[in-house]
């Protein structure tokens, strides 16, 4: 039997436990999950501040359903917004700009307008922070 004193190993065990916890945050998403379900699960994870899981759901939409343009726009917006909430402003800024560039194409009339408006609002906040 090994006896550990708190002062000897306590501080060394904490990073190991944190590392194990970080590894368990990867989720397995079944292939049959619909885009609407992925959005719902992504939002639920985000609401619980489980941003890594939320990002995985939104990324699954982009990878699995690239022709579902409404859901892809929603996923791209949510990914950028999560990065904004995490104060990753440069990353969020580039993601919002990439989303907004979709609205400068000939097919822009087919895109959901709410994500354009929301992206513009948050992008303006990021720009104001930079001043």
> How confident is the model over 65-122, as pLDDT tens digits?
999 999 999 999 999 999 999 999 999 999 999 999 999 999 999 999 999 999 999 9
Assigned domain for 74 exists: yes
Q: What is the CATH number of the domain that holds 98?
A: 1.25.40.10
Can you give the length of the chain in residues?
Answer: 131
Assigned domain for 104 exists: yes
Assigned domain for 63 exists: yes
User: How much is the pTM?
Assistant: 0.80
Q: DSSP letter for 88, please.
A: -
Dist CA 43 CA 80 (whole Å):
13
Dist CA 116 CA 9 (whole Å):
52
**What is the extent of the structural domain holding 70?**
29-130
> How confident is the model over 40-70, as pLDDT tens digits?
999 999 999 999 999 999 999 999 999 999 9
Assigned domain for 34 exists: yes
Helices 35-47 and 69-85 cross at an angle (nearest 10°) of 10
Assigned domain for 8 exists: no
Dist CA 83 CA 89 (whole Å):
7
Q: Does residue 62 contact residue 95 with C-beta atoms inside 8 Å? A: no
**Structural domain tally of the chain?**
1
Dist CA 109 CA 126 (whole Å):
26
């Amino acid at each position: 039997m090994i006896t550990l004193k708190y002062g000897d190993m306590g501080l060394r065990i904490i990073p190991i436990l944190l590392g194990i916890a970080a590894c368990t945050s990867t989720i397995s998403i079944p292939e049959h999950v619909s885009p609407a379900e992925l959005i719902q699960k992504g939002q639920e994870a985000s609401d619980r501040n489980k941003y890594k899981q939320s990002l995985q759901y939104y990324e699954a939409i982009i990878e699995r359903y690239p022709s579902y343009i409404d859901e892809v726009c929603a996923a791209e917006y949510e990914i950028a917004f999560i990065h904004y909430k995490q104060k990753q402003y440069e990353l969020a800024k580039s993601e919002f700009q990439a989303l907004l560039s979709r609205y400068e194409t000939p097919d822009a009339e087919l895109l959901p307008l709410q994500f354009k408006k929301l992206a513009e609002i948050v992008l303006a906040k990021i720009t104001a922070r930079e001043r």
